[in-house]
Amino acid sequence: MDFDPQAFEFSAAIWSWLLICGSAAAILAAVSLFFCLVSRGGAGATAWANEIVGILQDVISISPRRVFALAQLTFREAIRRKALLVFVVFAILFMFAGWFLSASSLAPEFQVKVYVTFVLRAISWLLLPVVLLLSCWGLPEDIKQRSLHTVVTKPARRLEVVLGRMLGFATVGTIVLVVMAGVGWGWIRRQLPEEAQKQLTCRQPVFGELRFNDREGNPATAGINVGDVWEFYSYIEGATKARAIWTFHDITPDVLDADGNLRLENRFQAFRSHKGDMRRSLYYQYVLVNPETGLRVPTSLKTVVEFRGRTDLLPRALPRVGEAAQEKAGEAADGKGAYDLIDDLVSKQPVLNPETKEVLIPAGSLQVEVACVDPGQYLGMARPHLFIRMPDRSFEAGYMKAVFGIEMMMLLVVVLGVTASTFVKGPVATMLTFCLLVIGQSAREFMSKLVNNEEQGGGTFESIYRLLYHMNPVTELPDNPATTAMRAIDNSMVSLMWLFYNIIPDFGFFSRSLTYLANGFDVSFNNAVLPGMVITLGYLIPCVLLGCFCLRNRELEAK
């Protein structure tokens, strides 16, 4: 599993949205006022105010009936433009997909990943270009054919035209998506080998927080890197005090399964510095710790099952190990002869910082320490590699959520495409929306590094300079006015980049659903579904207003 599902910061996202939209609206208002004043003098201010009032009137007096009528019109147009031909491509692709997916020799859980990824990607890649083209060419074509005149001469407001377009294209896209999703589901069920069908499930994980202790037992920010290029995994050394410590919150009897067991699933990696006993995998051991009382209960040794994962059932009544433990059990478990996983190991009070009284670990927490047992060997892990597995959900439930993620992405593309088509012609709108899609999908990480100054080697001009003079990214540049000027230009470009970085939507959130499902997890509502909805809505509101503004001021006679 190569993803680390971080929680979506809803409140931070709202604040950020308000800040950006507010700033953008203020800048737009100021700039437009300036131009009105410059071009028309005092009358310009009146015209500007009238325009603002007009937009507000459009918003207030919006008629769902008219929007629906315009959406119907858009829908018919889209069908007439043969948008549904995409089904033919889809059918051909799925007819021959089996040829390309020769994954039958792979382990069942890997086959599931290959098939699910293929289906969801194929749906996205076929659907998005169709809605992108439809939405970007709709309005410009109407303007060109002058069919928009028949609409704007009716008592339909420009805002309703924009909304109607969006709704119409979204409906077409949704119908296409639903059909494709249905066929895709049937295809997975039919094509996937019987053995792999059992792996079509949606785990419900409860993830914890992870920290490490080093080989001397001191807190460490991470474990050891054993030479992997990818630094996702941290390794702990065997037969030392090195530990990976997970803290799980909100632990109640509800996390136990029907038989009263705690299901801990892990995806640990083994790394051997010597071959050792090749007949078995490396051993690891859990030690359950009550963060409040410090009670520690070790479990039996278990062997690592690499890449496929392993589920360990820990009974609620944990047997005592050794005499010292028995003595403690007498105190803690009231002489019952065993520790109770919930009563004895889950904290009842929060753990506070003795000086600042800040809550370090909230009440209801359980800590799980993981140790590698074999000397000279290492266990690798990251935060999502140990979790409490709740009862699984059906694959269909997760699949529907993943499809919903695609729906949200499709809606965002429609919103962006229709908005772009209100102020530029079809080909330009297509290019603009396509670029936003590609950058938002694949270049945001790079942009983030640039705007946060994490990319070595400087900005555009500094990079060119280094290339020409064969200087590596960490070599100091000579301290002279030219360097200062070059960096000043680069910084101004980075500022511009910052603006774009904050405006361009992060399409990565939409593919989270796919990652969850392909890895056998239920699609998290808070981490995958909600971000998709919030992002789409976040762009819908300003885009509709922008589209309305542009369409109100567009010369419809100009082809």
Partner 1 sequence: MNQFTSQHRKFLYLGGILLLLIPIIRLGMPGDSSGKNAGTIAEMRTRLDLGESNLGDIDPSGAAMNLVLLGLRGVAANILWVQADEQKSHKDWAAMRATTESIIRLQPHFVKVWEYNGWNLAYNVSAEWDAVSDRYYWVKEGGKFLQQGVKRNRSSSDLLWHTGRIYGPKIGLSDEARFFRRYFRADPDPQFKGGVDPAWNERDEDNYIAAKDWFAKGNDVEGQGNRQTIMDRSIFRSYPARSQLDYASALQKYGFNEEYDRRAADRKLSESEQEALQLEVREQLREQNRAAWEQGFQEWTQKYGQELFTVDYRGNIVTIKMEMNEDDVSDIARSPEETKVLMQAVTAYQNMTNYRYWRTRTLCEAEPETAEAHWLLFAAMEEYRKQNLEKAREYAERVMTLLEGVFKKYPELDVEEDLVEDGINAVMIWQYAYRLSGERPPAEYPLKALYDSRASEMTEYERRFNRRFLPY
Residue from 5, 94, 113, 328 binding partner 1 (CB under 8 A): 113
Residue from 234, 269, 299, 367 binding partner 1 (CB under 8 A): 269
Q: Which of residues 312-371 bind partner 1 (CB under 8 A)?
A: none
Phi, psi of 318 (to 5 degrees): -95, 125
- Closest distance between partner 1 and the C-beta of residue 109, in Å? 8
Binding part of the chain for partner 1, among 96-104, 141-149, 331-339, 442-450 by CB under 8 A, reads 96-104
DSSP β-bridge partners for residue 263: 313
| Per rule CB under 8 A, count of chain residues that contact partner 1 | 31
Binding part of the chain for partner 1, among 80-88, 109-117, 446-454, 528-536 by CB under 8 A, reads 109-117
Helix (H, G, I), strand (E, B) or coil at 229: coil
Binding part of the chain for partner 1, among 227-235, 239-247, 428-436, 491-499 by CB under 8 A, reads 227-235
88-113 burial by CB neighbour count: b if 16+ within 10 A, else e? eebeeebeeeeeeeebeeeebbebbb
Token pair belonging to 228: 């992997």
- Closest distance between partner 1 and the C-beta of residue 114, in Å? 5
- Closest distance between partner 1 and the C-beta of residue 121, in Å? 11
N- to C-terminal Cα distance for the chain? 52
87 belongs to the binding site for partner 1 (CB under 8 A):
no
- The residue assigned the tokens 């269909």 is 396
Distance CA 208, CA 11 (A): 21
For partner 1, the closer CB: 430 or 519 = 519
105 belongs to the binding site for partner 1 (CB under 8 A):
yes
Residue from 12, 38, 229, 474 binding partner 1 (CB under 8 A): 229
For partner 1, the closer CB: 65 or 100 = 100
Q: Which amino acid is at 286?
A: Y
CA distances from 39 to 32, 55, 392, 549 (A): 10, 21, 65, 19
Strand 209-213 relative to strand 302-303, pairing: unpaired
Residue from 167, 282, 314, 543 binding partner 1 (CB under 8 A): 282
Length of the chain: 559
Residue from 211, 249, 272, 444 binding partner 1 (CB under 8 A): 272
Residue from 257, 292, 306, 340 binding partner 1 (CB under 8 A): 306
Instruction: Provide the 10 A C-beta neighbour count for residue 142.
Output: 22
Distance CA 56, CA 61 (A): 9
Token pair belonging to 355: 């000086």
For partner 1, the closer CB: 101 or 363 = 101
For partner 1, the closer CB: 270 or 295 = 270
Distance CA 353, CA 474 (A): 41
Per-residue DSSP letters for 236-274?
A: EETTSS-EEEEEE-S--GGGS-TTSEEEEEE--EEEESS
278 belongs to the binding site for partner 1 (CB under 8 A):
yes
Residue from 37, 69, 84, 117 binding partner 1 (CB under 8 A): 117
279 belongs to the binding site for partner 1 (CB under 8 A):
yes
For partner 1, the closer CB: 171 or 199 = 199
For partner 1, the closer CB: 520 or 538 = 520
- Closest distance between partner 1 and the C-beta of residue 270, in Å? 4
Q: Which of residues 461-500 bind partner 1 (CB under 8 A)?
A: none
Distance CA 178, CA 184 (A): 10
Instruction: Give Cα 162 distance to the centre of its chain.
Output: 29
- The residue assigned the tokens 């699949």 is 399
Q: Which amino acid is at 46?
A: T
Distance CA 178, CA 162 (A): 24
> Between 173 and 212, how does the x/- string for binding to partner 1 read (CB under 8 A)?
----------------------------------------
For partner 1, the closer CB: 58 or 374 = 374
- Closest distance between partner 1 and the C-beta of residue 239, in Å? 17
Distance CA 54, CA 468 (A): 55
96 belongs to the binding site for partner 1 (CB under 8 A):
yes
- Closest distance between partner 1 and the C-beta of residue 97, in Å? 10
228 belongs to the binding site for partner 1 (CB under 8 A):
yes
- Closest distance between partner 1 and the C-beta of residue 307, in Å? 7
Distance CA 176, CA 170 (A): 10
- Percent of the chain as helix, strand, coil, to the nearest 5: 55, 15, 30
- Binding region for partner 1 (CB under 8 A): 2, 96, 99-103, 105-106, 110-111, 113-114, 117, 228-230, 232, 269-270, 272, 275, 277-279, 281-282, 304-307
